[in-house]
Structure 1
């Protein structure tokens, strides 16, 4: 009947037909422009032959039903005006409405995932049968959007406004059993029984049982517009409004749209949904979140390409059973790669194993692991005081103290104890890979592998390519990081690599504000309001004042023309006074624990007094100036990293900052933040603060982009 590039339509038995979704040259079904165009052709064909057809089964030939719209098409689509976007969305709504209005019953057989537009396609069908392991949901909020093809309307009328809001505001896929419990689907069956069960339901519906008219009416019927209904909706709005993050407009927009259209006829409700989608699609937040999604896809694609060229790591080793080494051992063992954890002290090994055991106990408490699973992980960690078991190791992570002399000595020592084709890596946050490679016999088999603390929580791993690092070395290291469930980004060798090189200009700006008499508690408050998970003073305490000072010295030495300080930095003075941050409870803040072990903090008067002695002059600055004086140097260093080729793409820089230092998601990353403001606006701000030194100076390439009207994306 129809055979396209994304779907095919064939006749089954006695008036029944099946529409099979099967997008060619793709591992998944997605609602791209090709698929939507073919769906429109199929619906017109079904309308013409409606008198001959008694029922339609919609199924998928892929492991998933439909994973959603094609997000790679959003950038071009969202360049339309708001009015044009409304009309574009309305075309999709009309298509799904035409499918819903076919003169015979339709059943969607949902396997795998039905997300976003895929969920809305299933909702447009009269009946839904889900495989027991399938999941269904509307995750548009995670991209700063709302459902646009009827999802806010049909789902809320099917399962109720409150349950629909829970789905849409969380954006998480729902298990099949939960969807059945709420009434979003009609049956849940074993995966192997999905098609037969869906066909049986279609036969029943074609015979008039259950009633097609009643089923459609239930899904489309608005709430009665009564004072009681209006009060219920107002209360629902009050309950949710106080929990929403003002930095993300989509949740509030979804809530407002649902409340507005709950009592309206279907078409009027869909119009409100379309207008809401168009407004959100034009927002900076949606642009940032979509950019991060595409950046994540790029980073994953690159990691897969590297991994495809790699000899896999079957057994690894970590040198040092401290916080980082123990975290690496836990992560590797949990991911199924056995690891030798070596230290020169038995008590350190005991502490490393205890730490791993505690992390596993937390997973057991959360129901993610059982006792047998814990034992399996622990058996994958082999403690060692010597190199006896290193003969079968494919990759070594050196994670000893951040001292170039000690690291170089340890690396040279282990190089002779591993196979000739083993890869050596250093978990260093700042020390040059080329410097550490100087004492090695096989520098081509060496690179950096920078994990972030705590290892089990932080997703990013910087794989640092030295000038001698071979392709095979980088490939195996990327593959190992990926096997551990991490997101590796390959970066060039320079002081601080990517993340710390970009982060420390931010702290340089912080130091200058302190010297101008701006209170650190106020700076923290302003930057947290800007969107950072913690302000610079609190972040410094969490990282550790000693760690901060060490890294700052490395960066000052590497980039003296930009990253030097006028006089002694405040953090150096804090460290000299004995303040280490959370490590000893004294930093910019003082830390205490209550009887239950919960940590609390308050500004340290000792820190305030120390800073007051070093204030050069008290300068009145606005909150906006505080933001600019911290963000301009951070963003310009990100620009320099791109220009220097430390990272290949703008997407990788922004993803690195998101995953490595918690850059505010809704702002999209440093380079996206520049683009959102516009290069001209950013340039004016930087020039207004040029007196603060080299970190505030625009680069020649930036000026060239500005003159050419080009951004970073």
Structure 2
């Protein structure tokens, strides 16, 4: 028997043993689209009819196994309503059940990523052999849903309730050793032996050495737990997972509830409970927002790949300035395999940078993510230097000295003399104009901004800033280097604050206005954290650093005086004058003490109210909704201005930049999703209530025109940009 499709091929590999191989044509990875599912159904029908079939191996011809469902196809199913979605999910279950019900033993060779539906297929087989470098997992909660093709039903029966709760609710990718330890796979072998080992196991099953039928009975039967054991397993989990996920992300808690409901059922009834749970989530707004973010993230990656295709690879980098930021850049580059020179003008600064890299690597070593050999290899890729001696070998230099235009201009001009004529110079500046900094350079076309966010190792965003004379080759190489460092680069055009800081300071402007009108900064923090921000504006200012924010505030006021200049003393001005710089000197809006892990813990400071007198108004109460509106309106309008002025190329890139750069609440889908869901007419009507607060609250003309016509941002640009 032979089956030759565009996604699946079936062939006999031995007497009675067959191999079903996934190899989706014209795609770099295997994924479950309608084509693949249709061919899988047909192939299984043919295999089921083969007389004296002894076993089936499931494998992949690509580096990955199956990375999951094709979201571009399946996201449209969420709009069909609960009944339509349930029917479609049950169709796929029939296919996966057919895998589980084949009249012979089945083994899967997991040679690479097996995620979502890809791993659910693996769970449908009798045995799983995994390569040592492969990863498996059920990441559906990251899209706001639950596994819907059998993961909820089969995983608890294979690895136990507690493990399944953790796997499904965290949505993490599991390495081979963890998967073996929990019992999710039966063997882990060297990467080049996965198929060979899987075939060997399949032969032993065919010879009757393993009881595959008993495994099937266990997978298709209720979980053997009494009422007390169930209560202990689920009630504790619901409390812990519900608290961790929070009120805005219902998928993890729904997963636990569905596992609890279905674990006492046989397979078919459990599957019905699973699909009903998925359908319930899919009808909510969080799924639409998170799936939209996934699509935008894919679009941003596609844009980056376009630049990378035109870029020369960075094989040797350098960073100027070896403080915390420089050390962070050096660590990130070295940890991703790109050697880097770290230059400063004195030994103490060099040591500070090395200490930062060593601290980060030490943390990884302690958590077991690297071993001592890997730590040594990474440190050896960081070469400290006090001179420009080897800078002629560098492809790209990141300047990370003090945020002062004169100092930066002098250092950049000096560095340009010591690097190759085609090397890229990039400034890690958060506020200073790239076009202005380029005036001190002989080759401004080789210069751009490369704005990292602090802490470098944790923050995924890098703004790549194009100056007036920056060449496309420079942008391409910088994007390629940022991607090689494991970051998400988003290209923006030059303006005060670029994209993220330009949008952030109107938000702080709304905060300052609230305090001047008598709001309590603690209430504002609590309300905005309840809205979904990881920290409220006062806490965020403390983390950013009041001195840093004060400088940036002056830059923004000078760049956009009609909107961002303010009369009198702001709360940022007051805090700065009092030298309350936030976490960096342990006092700001709050005070800070190191906890047991050495991290600054936020504590109340009873002195702050008195210290702020004169910079804030007489205390009065505010409704939560007014606080949200006064904070969010300026941020949304400024983001729209950045799109209209082509500072950022698309709504998708703007949304991802704010989520990755300042923690815009992901479940709200980004600024443009937020605006589209509210409706521009409703937004403009809301903004009109605060017209007396000034230009920050005035929607643009284009916004008002779009509001009148009922237009939306993401749909209006869907032919050009990701939705």
- TM-score bracket, shorter-length normalisation: over 0.9
1:517 touches 1:612 (CA, 8 Å); kept in 2?
no
1:550–1:235 CA distance, 2 compared to 1 (3 A): closer
1:484–1:210 CA distance, 2 compared to 1 (3 A): closer
Aligned residue in 2 for 1:219: 219
1:396–1:260 CA distance, 2 compared to 1 (3 A): same
Aligned residue in 1 for 2:679: 678
User: Per-residue deviation at 1:225?
Assistant: 8.4
Aligned residue in 2 for 1:99: 99
User: Per-residue deviation at 1:598?
Assistant: 5.4
2:715 is the counterpart of 1:710: no
Gaps of 5+ in 1: none
Q: What TM-score do you get using the length of structure 2 for normalisation?
A: 0.93
User: Per-residue deviation at 1:475?
Assistant: 1.4
Aligned residue in 2 for 1:583: 584
Deviations 1:256-282 (A, max 9, x none): 111111112221211111111112122
Q: What TM-score do you get using the length of structure 1 for normalisation?
A: 0.94
2:400 touches 2:427 (CA, 8 Å); kept in 1?
yes
Deviations 1:193-241 (A, max 9, x none): 3333333433343455534432221110013686446545554555544
**For 1:673 and 1:84, how far apart are their aligned partners in 2?**
26
1:403–1:60 CA distance, 2 compared to 1 (3 A): same
1:84–1:561 CA distance, 2 compared to 1 (3 A): same
2:701 is the counterpart of 1:696: no
2:137 touches 2:171 (CA, 8 Å); kept in 1?
yes
1:208–1:543 CA distance, 2 compared to 1 (3 A): same
2:424 is the counterpart of 1:423: yes
1:237 touches 1:259 (CA, 8 Å); kept in 2?
no
Aligned residue in 1 for 2:82: 82
Aligned residue in 2 for 1:171: 171
**For 1:596 and 1:137, how far apart are their aligned partners in 2?**
30
User: Per-residue deviation at 1:594?
Assistant: 6.8
1:639–1:74 CA distance, 2 compared to 1 (3 A): farther
**For 2:227 and 2:389, how far apart are their aligned partners in 1?**
79
Aligned residue in 1 for 2:253: 252
User: Per-residue deviation at 1:322?
Assistant: 2.6
1:119 touches 1:138 (CA, 8 Å); kept in 2?
yes
Deviations 1:455-513 (A, max 9, x none): 22222111100111011111121222222222211111011001101111110000001
1:100 touches 1:125 (CA, 8 Å); kept in 2?
yes
2:431 is the counterpart of 1:405: no
2:458 is the counterpart of 1:452: no
Deviations 1:62-104 (A, max 9, x none): 1222111112223322221121111111111122123322333
1:496 touches 1:551 (CA, 8 Å); kept in 2?
yes
Give the 3-state SS of the residue equivalent to 1:448 in structure 2. strand
Give the 3-state SS of the residue equivalent to 1:12 in structure 2. strand
**Residues 487-636 of structure 1: pairs in structure 2 closer than 5 A:** 487-593=488-594, 599-616=600-617, 618-636=619-637
Aligned residue in 2 for 1:325: 326
Larger deviation: 289-298 or 224-233? Answer: 224-233
Larger deviation: 30-39 or 163-172? Answer: 163-172
**For 1:429 and 1:595, how far apart are their aligned partners in 2?**
32
Gaps of 5+ in 2: 715-722
Larger deviation: 231-240 or 443-452? Answer: 231-240
1:538 touches 1:589 (CA, 8 Å); kept in 2?
yes
**For 2:185 and 2:329, how far apart are their aligned partners in 1?**
43
User: Per-residue deviation at 1:558?
Assistant: 1.1
User: Per-residue deviation at 1:373?
Assistant: 4.3
User: Per-residue deviation at 1:182?
Assistant: 3.8
Larger deviation: 194-203 or 443-452? Answer: 194-203
Larger deviation: 248-257 or 646-655? Answer: 646-655
Aligned residue in 1 for 2:719: none
Give the 3-state SS of the residue equivalent to 1:81 in structure 2. helix
**For 1:326 and 1:20, how far apart are their aligned partners in 2?**
46
Give the 3-state SS of the residue equivalent to 2:392 in structure 1. coil
**For 1:508 and 1:100, how far apart are their aligned partners in 2?**
59
1:176 touches 1:188 (CA, 8 Å); kept in 2?
yes
**For 2:393 and 2:227, how far apart are their aligned partners in 1?**
75
**For 2:517 and 2:653, how far apart are their aligned partners in 1?**
35
Aligned residue in 1 for 2:657: 656
1:231–1:551 CA distance, 2 compared to 1 (3 A): closer
Aligned residue in 1 for 2:439: 438
**For 1:467 and 1:178, how far apart are their aligned partners in 2?**
50
**For 2:670 and 2:358, how far apart are their aligned partners in 1?**
36
**For 1:444 and 1:505, how far apart are their aligned partners in 2?**
32
1:237 touches 1:256 (CA, 8 Å); kept in 2?
no
2:129 touches 2:186 (CA, 8 Å); kept in 1?
yes
User: Per-residue deviation at 1:168?
Assistant: 0.7
Larger deviation: 305-314 or 457-466? Answer: 305-314
Question: How many corresponding residue pairs?
Answer: 712
Aligned residue in 1 for 2:287: 286
Deviations 1:613-653 (A, max 9, x none): 23345553211211121111112211111121111121211
Aligned residue in 2 for 1:395: 396
1:120 touches 1:149 (CA, 8 Å); kept in 2?
yes
User: Per-residue deviation at 1:50?
Assistant: 4.1
**For 1:337 and 1:226, how far apart are their aligned partners in 2?**
55
2:320 touches 2:401 (CA, 8 Å); kept in 1?
yes
Larger deviation: 326-335 or 58-67? Answer: 326-335
**For 1:415 and 1:224, how far apart are their aligned partners in 2?**
70
Larger deviation: 67-76 or 1-10? Answer: 67-76
**For 1:268 and 1:106, how far apart are their aligned partners in 2?**
24
1:428–1:599 CA distance, 2 compared to 1 (3 A): closer
User: Per-residue deviation at 1:113?
Assistant: 2.1
Give the 3-state SS of the residue equivalent to 1:314 in structure 2. coil
1:450 touches 1:461 (CA, 8 Å); kept in 2?
yes
Aligned residue in 1 for 2:134: 134
1:599–1:113 CA distance, 2 compared to 1 (3 A): closer
**For 1:558 and 1:346, how far apart are their aligned partners in 2?**
37
User: Per-residue deviation at 1:593?
Assistant: 4.3
Aligned residue in 2 for 1:669: 670
1:521–1:8 CA distance, 2 compared to 1 (3 A): same
**For 2:143 and 2:462, how far apart are their aligned partners in 1?**
24
1:95–1:317 CA distance, 2 compared to 1 (3 A): closer
2:688 touches 2:698 (CA, 8 Å); kept in 1?
yes
**For 2:159 and 2:383, how far apart are their aligned partners in 1?**
52
1:678–1:9 CA distance, 2 compared to 1 (3 A): same
**For 2:181 and 2:369, how far apart are their aligned partners in 1?**
23
Deviations 1:633-686 (A, max 9, x none): 112211111121111121211111122112222222222222333333333322
Aligned residue in 2 for 1:4: 5
1:586–1:133 CA distance, 2 compared to 1 (3 A): closer
1:687–1:195 CA distance, 2 compared to 1 (3 A): same
- RMSD value over aligned CA atoms? 2.4
Larger deviation: 511-520 or 410-419? Answer: 410-419
Larger deviation: 519-528 or 287-296? Answer: 287-296
Give the 3-state SS of the residue equivalent to 2:652 in structure 1. helix
Larger deviation: 613-622 or 445-454? Answer: 613-622
Larger deviation: 252-261 or 303-312? Answer: 303-312
Larger deviation: 183-192 or 537-546? Answer: 183-192
1:401 touches 1:407 (CA, 8 Å); kept in 2?
yes
User: Per-residue deviation at 1:146?
Assistant: 0.6
1:34–1:349 CA distance, 2 compared to 1 (3 A): same
**For 2:228 and 2:458, how far apart are their aligned partners in 1?**
46
